A and B are shown apart, each in its own frame.
Chain A
Amino acid sequence: MSEHGAIRELVALAAADALDDKERRQVEAHLRTCADCSAEVDRYRVLASGLRRLPTPQAPPLLVERTRQQIQLQLSAATERATSPWLLGFLALLSWTLTVASWPILRMLTQGVASWLDLSFRTTWMTLLIYTMAGWAMGGAVALAVAWRRASGRRAA
């Protein structure tokens, strides 16, 4: 291909400012001596300028608002998902601590201080086990109720 032919392939890209440095230097050198290619670049530049001036269609405000709401819901759900394991872990630990901590108080209230001296493995630890399980069952029921209420809220939104 002649130099003229090769440069002709680049004139549209030159008008679009899409040439690399080497190509741009080649085109500029050629345009200094070729009125035909120079006029061709000008024609493409006019076209490029027209494309740059095309009006920008605006995103409808209702669409933007709808999108915003949808995304906020998505982000809230994601945040909830991210914090839930930590929160559950913390609540489980708290629940366990409270159960263990409240056990001596319960013993004291139900059987008196002397019961502290009762080291019968079966009596003491079986009661503690039942007491713990009852506490955890109650916590589970509350967690289920909260989850159900949140799910209802999301469905309503």
Chain B
Amino acid sequence: MSPLAGETEAARLRRGDPGAFEELLARYQHRLYRYLLRFVRDGALAEDLFQQSWLRVVQRISQYDPRKNFEAWLFSVARNLAIDHLRRYRPESLDEPLPGDSFGEAAEPSRAARLAAGGPSALDRVLERERSEKLDAALGSLPVMYREVLSLRFEEEMKIEEIAGVLSVPLSTAKTRLRRGLEHLRQALEAHGSEEHWA
């Protein structure tokens, strides 16, 4: 990831260049959608928040400091909207796993799992998909505070300092959440006898 990724386009967007928005949308559409989907675990809500996030970005682009990382700003805008929504409609989900997120009992594969990456053979693909489904389900069983930090670190490949910026928390808190998130994820997998399959 380039350290300047998105910053140039964001500066152009500040000057009202519509082409800059097209480039930002093309660059971040899947990543932002994935982050929101991980965060709220609800496709329709993720779509709604996706639209709201971009609207908020355009409305508040003048508040963005071009010297800072645009990506972190974008994700923090989306996060704030998601938190506002959850606080208003599902306050319990900010601390506890969402109802129905019982890991290991998901009969239907998640949306993310259905889009499993290809492997060298049919068997490998099946096994890889099965592993992804288990990991995705285990991830979904975690409280949102751990889910988001794991997604930002491993899927978005953000540095821990950037994650702390997105979450608006001290670095030590971001580290603690990351460590606990990994520990909880491992426990969730171990509880279902899945962890050894990750080797």
Interface of A toward B, CB cutoff 8 Å: 9-10, 12-13, 15-16, 18, 43-44, 46-60, 63-64, 66-68, 70-72, 74-76, 78-79, 82
Give Cα A57–Cα B114 distance, bound, in whole angstroms. 9
Q: B178 to A18, Cβ gap below 8 A?
A: yes
With contacts A10-B179, A47-B189, A58-B115 known, what are 12 further pairs, Cβ within 8 A?
A: A13-B179, A16-B153, A43-B186, A53-B117, A55-B115, A67-B51, A71-B55, A71-B58, A74-B58, A75-B18, A78-B58, A79-B16
Residues in B142-172 with C-beta less than 8 Å from chain A:
150, 153-155, 157, 160
**Contact (A15, B182) CB under 8 Å given A55-B112, A57-B34, A72-B18:** yes
Q: B135 to A57, Cβ gap below 8 A?
A: no
Binds A, one of B21-29, B71-79, B99-107: B21-29
**Contact (A64, B25) CB under 8 Å given A16-B178, A59-B30, A75-B16:** yes
**Chain B contact surface mostly:** helix
Which residues of A have CB within 8 Å of B160?
Answer: 16, 18
Give Cα A155–Cα B28 distance, bound, in whole angstroms. 30
Q: Mark B182-197, 1 if CB is under 8 A from A, else 0.
A: 1101100100000100
Q: B132 to A55, Cβ gap below 8 A?
A: yes
